[in-house]
């Protein structure tokens, strides 16, 4: 891995790079659908009402980036499904945070969907936890430093 960007504060930040991969509306909605268990092209297309060419492009880009993996489920005619990779699964907190933000600031009344912990059925809460101090904290208690300062 090229570490030049880590040492150069003028190089594109990780947020900018991530948005280059998943920062458009259709990519985020395709990811939402794959987290919901939709894996096949026609399922995703039907759910989103997305044009075929646009969906093909987004799936190709997400596969090329390593966020989704294409798996053949039928040979004649050839049919593939799309599954989240480890890299893709790690986008879950981002989608959940975006959903919670939208629920709070953009919805009137109750949110249309509530995410719950499968084991107990209770609604999810997002937060930050320090693995060193073992405390939970809020977004105003986060600071940053350039990689070279961390050494």
pLDDT band for position 4 (cuts 50, 70, 90):
very low
* Domain carrying residue 28: 4-150
- Give the pair of three-digit tokens for residue 33: 């659908």
| Predicted confidence (pLDDT) at residue 3 exceeds the cutoff of 50 | no
Query: pLDDT for 27-75, tens place per residue?
Result: 999 999 999 999 999 999 999 999 999 999 999 999 999 999 999 999 9
Cβ atoms of residues 33 and 55 within 8 Å? no
The CATH number assigned to the domain holding 11 equals 1.10.10.10
Per the structure, how many domains does the chain have? 1
State yes or no: pLDDT of 149 exceeds 60.
no
Residue 6: how many CA atoms within 13 Å on its side-chain side? 8
Position 102 confidence tier, pLDDT thresholds 50, 70, 90: very high
């Amino acid at each position: 891995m090229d570490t030049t960007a880590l040492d150069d504060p003028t190089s594109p930040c990780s947020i900018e790079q991530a948005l280059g991969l998943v920062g458009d509306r259709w990519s985020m909605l395709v990811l939402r659908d794959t987290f919901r268990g939709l894996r096949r092209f026609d399922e995703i297309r039907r759910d989103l009402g997305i044009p075929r060419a646009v969906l093909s492009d987004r799936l190709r880009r997400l596969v090329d980036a390593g966020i989704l993996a294409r798996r053949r489920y039928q040979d004649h005619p050839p049919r593939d499904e799309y599954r989240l990779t480890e890299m893709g699964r790690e986008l879950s907190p981002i989608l959940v945070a975006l959903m919670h933000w939208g629920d709070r600031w953009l919805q009137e009344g109750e949110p249309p969907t509530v995410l719950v912990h499968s084991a107990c059925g209770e609604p999810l809460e997002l937060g930050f936890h320090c693995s060193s101090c073992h405390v939970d904290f809020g977004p105003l208690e986060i600071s940053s430093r350039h990689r070279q300062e961390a050494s």
